[in-house]
Amino acid sequence: MFINPYIEPEQNINKDGYLGSFTTYKSIGSISVKALQIYKNKFPQLLFISLISFIPGLLLSMFYLKEVDTLIQYFLPASDVATVNFPNVPFNVYFLLILQMFLDPLALAAMTIALGRIIILRDTNILSAYYFALTRGYSLILNVVIFYLILLFFGFLTLFIIGAPLLIIWIIATVIYPHAIYFENSGPGAALFRSIKLLSRSWFDLFKFWIPLIGITAIQFISSSYITGSIGIIFNELLTFFLQPLVPIITALAYIHYRIKIEDLSYIDYGNSVLNLGLTIEE
Protein backbone atom coordinates (compact mmCIF):
# COMPACT_ATOMS: atom_id res chain seq x y z
CA MET A 1 0.00 0.00 0.00
CA PHE A 2 1.37 3.41 -1.00
CA ILE A 3 1.11 5.85 1.88
CA ASN A 4 -0.15 9.32 1.09
CA PRO A 5 2.51 11.73 2.45
CA TYR A 6 -0.08 14.41 3.15
CA ILE A 7 -1.59 14.64 6.61
CA GLU A 8 -3.58 17.75 5.77
CA PRO A 9 -3.12 18.38 2.04
CA GLU A 10 -4.85 21.76 2.02
CA GLN A 11 -2.25 23.10 4.44
CA ASN A 12 0.71 21.60 2.60
CA ILE A 13 -0.05 22.83 -0.92
CA ASN A 14 -0.46 26.56 -1.25
CA LYS A 15 -1.74 28.52 -4.18
CA ASP A 16 1.03 30.96 -3.38
CA GLY A 17 4.58 30.63 -4.66
CA TYR A 18 5.43 28.98 -7.96
CA LEU A 19 2.30 26.91 -8.44
CA GLY A 20 -0.52 29.35 -7.85
CA SER A 21 1.06 32.46 -9.32
CA PHE A 22 2.13 30.73 -12.50
CA THR A 23 -1.28 29.50 -13.56
CA THR A 24 -2.46 33.07 -14.04
CA TYR A 25 0.42 33.87 -16.41
CA LYS A 26 -0.46 33.96 -20.10
CA SER A 27 2.34 35.66 -22.05
CA ILE A 28 5.68 34.41 -23.35
CA GLY A 29 7.44 36.98 -21.19
CA SER A 30 5.70 35.83 -18.02
CA ILE A 31 6.62 32.22 -18.73
CA SER A 32 10.26 33.23 -19.17
CA VAL A 33 10.24 35.34 -16.00
CA LYS A 34 8.74 32.51 -13.95
CA ALA A 35 11.28 30.03 -15.32
CA LEU A 36 14.15 32.38 -14.48
CA GLN A 37 12.72 32.95 -11.00
CA ILE A 38 12.69 29.21 -10.27
CA TYR A 39 16.18 28.83 -11.75
CA LYS A 40 17.55 31.70 -9.68
CA ASN A 41 16.15 30.31 -6.44
CA LYS A 42 17.02 26.65 -7.02
CA PHE A 43 19.96 26.60 -9.44
CA PRO A 44 22.42 24.80 -7.08
CA GLN A 45 20.15 21.75 -6.79
CA LEU A 46 19.23 21.78 -10.47
CA LEU A 47 22.82 22.08 -11.64
CA PHE A 48 23.90 19.21 -9.40
CA ILE A 49 21.16 17.03 -10.88
CA SER A 50 22.21 17.83 -14.45
CA LEU A 51 25.92 17.39 -13.64
CA ILE A 52 25.77 13.61 -14.02
CA SER A 53 24.79 13.87 -17.70
CA PHE A 54 27.15 16.78 -18.38
CA ILE A 55 30.43 15.03 -17.54
CA PRO A 56 30.50 12.48 -20.45
CA GLY A 57 29.77 15.22 -23.00
CA LEU A 58 32.44 17.47 -21.54
CA LEU A 59 35.03 14.66 -21.66
CA LEU A 60 34.12 13.90 -25.28
CA SER A 61 34.42 17.57 -26.24
CA MET A 62 37.74 18.08 -24.47
CA PHE A 63 39.61 14.87 -25.36
CA TYR A 64 37.80 13.05 -28.19
CA LEU A 65 36.37 15.75 -30.42
CA LYS A 66 38.09 14.50 -33.58
CA GLU A 67 37.01 10.91 -32.93
CA VAL A 68 33.39 11.98 -32.43
CA ASP A 69 33.55 14.04 -35.62
CA THR A 70 34.91 11.00 -37.47
CA LEU A 71 31.95 8.92 -36.31
CA ILE A 72 29.52 11.63 -37.37
CA GLN A 73 31.15 11.83 -40.79
CA TYR A 74 30.85 8.06 -41.16
CA PHE A 75 27.11 7.94 -40.46
CA LEU A 76 26.34 11.30 -42.08
CA PRO A 77 29.01 11.59 -44.76
CA ALA A 78 29.50 14.89 -46.53
CA SER A 79 29.28 14.99 -50.31
CA ASP A 80 33.05 15.18 -50.68
CA VAL A 81 33.83 12.49 -48.12
CA ALA A 82 33.83 8.82 -49.02
CA THR A 83 34.33 6.78 -45.86
CA VAL A 84 34.18 3.05 -46.53
CA ASN A 85 35.83 1.44 -43.52
CA PHE A 86 34.34 1.82 -40.09
CA PRO A 87 36.43 4.40 -38.20
CA ASN A 88 38.91 3.08 -35.67
CA VAL A 89 38.18 5.08 -32.52
CA PRO A 90 39.12 4.28 -28.91
CA PHE A 91 36.80 2.23 -26.74
CA ASN A 92 36.52 5.22 -24.38
CA VAL A 93 34.61 7.13 -27.05
CA TYR A 94 31.95 4.42 -27.40
CA PHE A 95 31.75 4.04 -23.63
CA LEU A 96 31.20 7.78 -23.07
CA LEU A 97 28.65 8.01 -25.91
CA ILE A 98 26.63 5.08 -24.56
CA LEU A 99 26.94 6.41 -21.00
CA GLN A 100 25.63 9.81 -22.06
CA MET A 101 22.82 8.18 -24.02
CA PHE A 102 21.54 6.57 -20.78
CA LEU A 103 22.38 9.40 -18.39
CA ASP A 104 20.61 12.14 -20.37
CA PRO A 105 17.07 10.72 -19.93
CA LEU A 106 17.85 9.70 -16.34
CA ALA A 107 18.93 13.23 -15.46
CA LEU A 108 15.84 14.60 -17.22
CA ALA A 109 13.64 12.28 -15.17
CA ALA A 110 15.35 13.29 -11.91
CA MET A 111 14.97 16.94 -12.89
CA THR A 112 11.27 16.40 -13.62
CA ILE A 113 10.70 14.88 -10.18
CA ALA A 114 12.73 17.57 -8.42
CA LEU A 115 10.92 20.40 -10.21
CA GLY A 116 7.57 18.82 -9.41
CA ARG A 117 8.43 19.04 -5.73
CA ILE A 118 9.98 22.51 -6.01
CA ILE A 119 6.89 23.93 -7.66
CA ILE A 120 4.64 22.73 -4.84
CA LEU A 121 7.13 24.24 -2.37
CA ARG A 122 8.52 20.99 -1.05
CA ASP A 123 12.15 20.25 -0.19
CA THR A 124 14.30 18.81 -2.97
CA ASN A 125 16.65 15.92 -2.27
CA ILE A 126 18.97 15.16 -5.20
CA LEU A 127 19.52 11.52 -4.25
CA SER A 128 15.78 10.98 -3.78
CA ALA A 129 15.10 12.51 -7.20
CA TYR A 130 17.44 9.98 -8.83
CA TYR A 131 16.09 7.15 -6.72
CA PHE A 132 12.50 7.84 -7.77
CA ALA A 133 13.65 8.26 -11.38
CA LEU A 134 15.16 4.77 -11.28
CA THR A 135 11.98 3.23 -9.87
CA ARG A 136 10.45 3.64 -13.33
CA GLY A 137 13.67 3.34 -15.25
CA TYR A 138 12.31 0.57 -17.48
CA SER A 139 9.42 2.75 -18.61
CA LEU A 140 11.76 5.70 -19.13
CA ILE A 141 14.19 3.71 -21.28
CA LEU A 142 11.44 2.10 -23.36
CA ASN A 143 9.77 5.47 -23.95
CA VAL A 144 13.11 6.92 -25.07
CA VAL A 145 13.66 3.98 -27.44
CA ILE A 146 10.14 4.33 -28.87
CA PHE A 147 10.63 8.09 -29.23
CA TYR A 148 13.80 7.69 -31.30
CA LEU A 149 12.42 4.85 -33.41
CA ILE A 150 9.40 6.93 -34.40
CA LEU A 151 11.67 9.96 -34.84
CA LEU A 152 13.81 7.99 -37.30
CA PHE A 153 10.70 6.78 -39.12
CA PHE A 154 9.36 10.32 -39.50
CA GLY A 155 12.85 11.42 -40.50
CA PHE A 156 12.75 8.86 -43.31
CA LEU A 157 9.32 10.15 -44.33
CA THR A 158 10.81 13.64 -44.79
CA LEU A 159 11.96 12.28 -48.15
CA PHE A 160 8.29 12.73 -48.94
CA ILE A 161 6.23 15.83 -48.18
CA ILE A 162 4.22 14.27 -45.35
CA GLY A 163 7.28 13.52 -43.20
CA ALA A 164 8.28 17.07 -42.25
CA PRO A 165 5.07 18.12 -40.42
CA LEU A 166 4.86 14.74 -38.66
CA LEU A 167 8.47 15.09 -37.52
CA ILE A 168 7.87 18.61 -36.18
CA ILE A 169 4.68 17.63 -34.36
CA TRP A 170 6.37 14.58 -32.85
CA ILE A 171 9.26 16.66 -31.48
CA ILE A 172 7.25 19.58 -30.09
CA ALA A 173 4.32 17.60 -28.67
CA THR A 174 6.19 14.88 -26.75
CA VAL A 175 8.21 17.17 -24.46
CA ILE A 176 6.24 16.37 -21.31
CA TYR A 177 6.37 12.58 -21.55
CA PRO A 178 8.54 12.31 -18.36
CA HIS A 179 5.73 14.01 -16.43
CA ALA A 180 3.28 11.43 -17.76
CA ILE A 181 5.61 8.63 -16.61
CA TYR A 182 6.21 9.93 -13.08
CA PHE A 183 3.09 11.96 -12.26
CA GLU A 184 0.45 9.90 -14.10
CA ASN A 185 2.06 6.44 -14.03
CA SER A 186 1.90 6.11 -17.83
CA GLY A 187 3.69 3.11 -19.31
CA PRO A 188 5.97 2.62 -22.32
CA GLY A 189 4.59 4.37 -25.37
CA ALA A 190 1.55 5.56 -23.47
CA ALA A 191 3.52 8.44 -21.91
CA LEU A 192 4.52 9.78 -25.33
CA PHE A 193 0.98 9.69 -26.68
CA ARG A 194 -0.39 11.10 -23.42
CA SER A 195 1.95 14.07 -23.96
CA ILE A 196 0.65 14.56 -27.50
CA LYS A 197 -2.98 14.22 -26.41
CA LEU A 198 -2.58 16.76 -23.61
CA LEU A 199 -0.55 19.37 -25.49
CA SER A 200 -2.66 19.13 -28.63
CA ARG A 201 -5.60 20.58 -26.69
CA SER A 202 -4.13 24.03 -27.29
CA TRP A 203 -1.48 24.46 -29.98
CA PHE A 204 -1.41 28.20 -29.37
CA ASP A 205 -0.47 27.71 -25.70
CA LEU A 206 2.16 25.18 -26.75
CA PHE A 207 3.64 27.75 -29.11
CA LYS A 208 4.03 30.19 -26.20
CA PHE A 209 6.08 27.65 -24.26
CA TRP A 210 8.22 26.69 -27.24
CA ILE A 211 9.36 30.25 -27.95
CA PRO A 212 11.61 30.37 -24.84
CA LEU A 213 12.89 26.87 -25.65
CA ILE A 214 13.80 27.98 -29.16
CA GLY A 215 15.49 31.05 -27.66
CA ILE A 216 17.71 28.85 -25.47
CA THR A 217 18.66 26.73 -28.50
CA ALA A 218 19.39 29.87 -30.52
CA ILE A 219 21.76 31.18 -27.83
CA GLN A 220 23.67 27.90 -27.86
CA PHE A 221 23.81 27.82 -31.66
CA ILE A 222 25.08 31.40 -31.97
CA SER A 223 27.68 30.82 -29.27
CA SER A 224 29.02 27.64 -30.91
CA SER A 225 29.14 29.40 -34.29
CA TYR A 226 31.14 32.44 -33.16
CA ILE A 227 33.15 31.16 -30.19
CA THR A 228 35.43 28.43 -31.51
CA GLY A 229 38.76 26.80 -30.71
CA SER A 230 39.78 24.94 -27.57
CA ILE A 231 38.53 27.68 -25.27
CA GLY A 232 35.33 27.92 -27.28
CA ILE A 233 34.62 24.21 -26.82
CA ILE A 234 34.89 24.44 -23.05
CA PHE A 235 32.94 27.71 -22.98
CA ASN A 236 30.09 26.29 -25.07
CA GLU A 237 29.90 23.14 -22.97
CA LEU A 238 29.68 25.24 -19.80
CA LEU A 239 27.08 27.50 -21.42
CA THR A 240 25.00 24.45 -22.27
CA PHE A 241 25.42 23.15 -18.73
CA PHE A 242 24.15 26.39 -17.16
CA LEU A 243 21.31 26.91 -19.64
CA GLN A 244 20.09 23.30 -19.79
CA PRO A 245 18.05 23.33 -16.51
CA LEU A 246 15.83 26.03 -18.02
CA VAL A 247 14.47 23.51 -20.52
CA PRO A 248 12.87 21.11 -17.97
CA ILE A 249 11.71 24.13 -15.93
CA ILE A 250 9.76 25.46 -18.92
CA THR A 251 8.33 22.04 -19.77
CA ALA A 252 7.33 21.58 -16.11
CA LEU A 253 5.47 24.89 -16.24
CA ALA A 254 3.81 23.78 -19.47
CA TYR A 255 2.64 20.56 -17.82
CA ILE A 256 1.17 22.48 -14.89
CA HIS A 257 -0.51 24.94 -17.23
CA TYR A 258 -2.21 22.19 -19.22
CA ARG A 259 -3.20 20.05 -16.24
CA ILE A 260 -4.58 22.84 -14.04
CA LYS A 261 -5.86 25.40 -16.51
CA ILE A 262 -6.99 23.20 -19.41
CA GLU A 263 -7.86 19.92 -17.66
CA ASP A 264 -9.08 21.75 -14.54
CA LEU A 265 -7.02 19.62 -12.13
CA SER A 266 -7.07 20.92 -8.57
CA TYR A 267 -3.94 22.10 -6.78
CA ILE A 268 -4.35 19.32 -4.23
CA ASP A 269 -4.65 16.60 -6.88
CA TYR A 270 -1.64 17.96 -8.72
CA GLY A 271 0.43 17.96 -5.51
CA ASN A 272 -0.64 14.42 -4.69
CA SER A 273 0.26 13.23 -8.20
CA VAL A 274 3.75 14.68 -7.72
CA LEU A 275 4.42 13.23 -4.27
CA ASN A 276 2.72 9.89 -4.94
CA LEU A 277 4.25 9.53 -8.42
CA GLY A 278 0.85 9.22 -10.03
CA LEU A 279 -0.37 6.45 -7.71
CA THR A 280 -3.52 6.57 -5.63
CA ILE A 281 -3.48 5.88 -1.91
CA GLU A 282 -4.83 2.35 -2.49
CA GLU A 283 -1.95 1.56 -4.87
**Under the phi-then-psi rule, with left for phi > 0, alpha for psi from -120 to 50, and beta for the rest, what region is 124?**
beta
Is residue 275 over pLDDT 50?
Answer: yes
Those residues whose C-beta lies under 8 Å from the C-beta of residue 120, and which sit 6 or more positions away, are: 13, 18, 19, 270, 271, 274, 275
User: CB neighbours of 81 closer than 8 A, spacing ≥ 6?
Assistant: 73
Are the C-beta atoms of 139 and 188 separated by less than 8 Å?
yes
pLDDT over threshold 90, residue 192: yes
DSSP 8-state code for residue 174 = S
pLDDT at 70 over 90: no
pTM over 0.75: yes
Q: Is the pLDDT of residue 23 over 70?
A: no
**pLDDT over 80 at 107, yes or no:** yes
Cβ distance 254 to 176 under 8 Å?
yes
State mean pLDDT over 187-198.
95
Predicted local confidence at residue 83, as pLDDT: 52
* Higher pLDDT pick, 93 / 72: 93
Mean per-residue pLDDT, 139-161: 91
H or E element in which residue 262 lies: none
The pLDDT value recorded for residue 3 is: 37
Q: Which amino acid is at 46?
A: L
Q: How far apart are CA 139 and CA 191, in angstroms?
A: 9
How many CB atoms sit inside 10 A of residue 154's CB? Answer: 19
Q: What is the mean pLDDT of residues 80-100?
A: 76
More confident call, 82 vs 156: 156
The dihedral formed by the CA atoms of 261, 264, 266 and 269, expressed in degrees to the nearest 10: -110
Residue 190 has pLDDT above 80, yes or no: yes
Question: Residue 158 — φ and ψ, nearest 5°?
Answer: -65, -15
Helix intervals (H) in 64-176: 65-75, 91-119, 126-135, 137-157, 163-172
By the 8 A CB rule, do 206 and 28 touch? no
Neighbours of 251 (CB within 10 A): 24
In this prediction, residue 9 carries a pLDDT of 40
* Average of per-residue pLDDT values in the chain: 83
Over residues 242-255, the pLDDT tens digits come to 999 999 999 999 99
| Spatial distance between the Cα atoms of 132 and 207, rounded to a whole number of angstroms | 31
Task: Determine what percent of the chain is predicted with pLDDT higher than 90.
Answer: 41
- Write down the pLDDT at residue 18: 56
Mean pLDDT value of segment 52-74: 83
Q: Would you state the pLDDT for residue 26? A: 64
> Angle at which helices 267-275 and 91-119 pack, to 10 degrees?
140
DSSP of 236-265: HHHHHHHHTTHHHHHHHHHHHIIIIIIS--
